[in-house]
Amino acid sequence: MAINKETIIISLGGSLVAPGEIDFGFLKNFKHCLEKYINKTRFFIIVGGGKICRIYQKALAEFGANNTNRDWMGIKISRLNAEVIKHLFGNLADSKIIEDPTKKITNKKNIVVAGGWKPGWSTDYVSVQIAKTYNIKTIINLTNIDYVCNKDPKQFPDAKAIKEISWKDFQKIVGDKWTPGLSMPFDPRASKMAEKLKLKVVMINGKNLDRLEDFLNNKPFIGTIIK
């Protein structure tokens, strides 16, 4: 008798994949972590561009590139990172990377990988669009922060960590504007769509994968829930 698997989206920050060079240690640990759960869980992994993406986008801006061209640079880099993740999981992963999150794939592989989509939309937005296409209700955003804070902790030492927050209150923190290379806990446009779809987004520091396992095991974890 077939077991109905839960499906979870993981939005994987590009800076975890390649903070400078490819982080082989992190990737091996990430694979080992997810392999423990694939008997009961299917994962869609959407990979961001990260720091390298912003470096290239800044270079294009110096040479007068417009937002569309800078966005395409980010999309290409996110897809390169996605290729790395696809090969990391080998036969466990679908052989094709999702480039259009509005089109449903028929393959039932345990790991499905996606990158950027089109100019104007971040990989956070791709995650939310995939949630809509496949009727998935949970997105885990693996990033490089422990918690969402009420203001930027780099600028304000008195910033307070938030363990749980509504979409409405979260949007007050991040605003409503998107620009290529924007560094926010979760893209403002994606946040609006996530609220409409009544999604739960869980922010977890990917540098501590034991926290991801705590969440997958329904244990108390360090991170922020937005819903």
The domain ranges of the chain are 6-226
Q: Could you give the C-alpha distances from 205 to 11, 110, 154, 223, in angstroms and in order?
A: 12, 23, 16, 7
User: Residue 47, SS3?
Assistant: strand
Confidence tier at 2 by pLDDT (50, 70, 90): very low
**Which residues on adjacent β-strands are paired with residue 221?**
none
Q: Which phi and psi (to 5°) does residue 225 adopt?
A: -105, 130
Ramachandran region of residue 179, left (φ > 0), alpha (ψ -120 to 50) or beta? beta
**What integer pLDDT is reported at residue 120 of this predicted model?**
81
Query: Which range, of 2-6, 52-56, 103-107, averages the lowest pLDDT?
Result: 2-6
Share of the chain above pLDDT 70, in %: 94
120-140: pLDDT as tens digits: 888 899 999 999 999 999 999
CATH of 6-226, one of 3.30.465.10, 3.40.50.1000, 3.40.50.300, 3.40.1160.10: 3.40.1160.10
